Amino acid sequence: MSRKFLILFTILIFLTFALVGCGVVDKLLSIKEDFKGAENSEEDINEQLGEIEVDITSPQGSDLVVGEPIEYKKVLLYFGSADGKHLVAVEKEIPKVEGIARETINALIEGPDFQSGLLPTIPAGTSLLDINVKENGLCIVDFSKELVANLPGGEQNEQLAVYSIVNTLCQFPTIDQVEFRVEGQKMDTLLGYVQLDPAVSANADMVIKR
């Protein structure tokens, strides 16, 4: 092999490695830039996440409050005796709330326990629309129309209905008399037997012990 050819061969090999080396270097530089970009992206993501405020408070409009034990109050409810001629006082515990008179009448409307053998005095479907206790001891109660429409006829049934309500309300020291209204209208009587105007006081003579 001539010396000239050897020199040319050496130069060719050098140029080949030089070209390949440049490609490798470019590739390495490209990988480095990609990696640097990935680091920057990760930093940007972390920075964005750091700006997000995570709200772990309760949803708007709802307060997560640990419930306190419910207090109960013993009240007397007057239901009809088994023969339907008298009233019987039944002690019952109901939630102690600010409107205790309203809660008590609603319990009376629900009627007695089936096992008690006592009779309901308020007609089915009746609801309490409003109740207002005045400073002078007068309690105004307003019932739905079912109090009259669904009340069985007869003097005894009317007496039981009226005085079960009045006796139940007058157990409270702030109530002395009860004024009856139905759908907002003041009532003189329900069925024509018991006079309701101007107001009604408790009747202990109708109550018997079991």
Asked if residue 78 and residue 43 are part of one domain, the reply reads: no
Place of tokens 């039944």: 90
* Residues 26-62: tens digit of each pLDDT: 544 454 455 445 444 455 545 554 544 444 344 444 3
Inside any domain, residue 63: no
Contacts of residue 152, defined as CB under 8 A and 6 or more positions apart, other chains included, come to 123
Inside any domain, residue 62: no
Inside any domain, residue 29: yes
Asked if residue 145 and residue 94 are part of one domain, the reply reads: yes
**E strand intervals along 137-184:** 138-143, 177-182
Asked if residue 79 and residue 43 are part of one domain, the reply reads: no
- Burial class of 48 by CB neighbour count within 10 A (0 to 12, 13 to 18, 19+): exposed
Asked if residue 36 and residue 82 are part of one domain, the reply reads: no
pLDDT tens for the 210 residues of the chain, in order:
555 555 555 555 554 444 444 454 454 445 445 544 544 445 554 555 454 444 434 444 434 445 678 899 999 999 999 999 999 999 999 998 889 999 999 999 999 999 999 999 999 999 999 999 999 999 999 999 999 999 999 999 999 999 999 999 999 999 999 999 999 999 999 999 999 999 999 999 999 988
The answer to whether the beta carbons of residues 115 and 140 sit under 8 Å apart is no
Asked if residue 43 and residue 128 are part of one domain, the reply reads: no
Residues facing 182 on adjacent strands: 143, 185
Contacts of residue 85, defined as CB under 8 A and 6 or more positions apart, other chains included, come to 156
Asked if residue 87 and residue 177 are part of one domain, the reply reads: yes
Count of Cβ atoms closer than 10 Å to residue 58 Cβ: 10
Stated length of the chain: 210
- Domain end point (choices 47, 64, 80): 47
* Residues 160-173: tens digit of each pLDDT: 999 999 999 999 99
Asked if residue 95 and residue 30 are part of one domain, the reply reads: no
Question: CA-to-CA distance for 187 and 55, rounded, in angstroms?
Answer: 57
Q: Please count the structural domains in the chain.
A: 2
- The pTM score is 0.68
Asked if residue 181 and residue 138 are part of one domain, the reply reads: yes
What element of type H or E holds 36? Answer: helix 3-51
Range of the domain at 42: 1-47
CA atoms within 13 A on the CB side of 52: 8
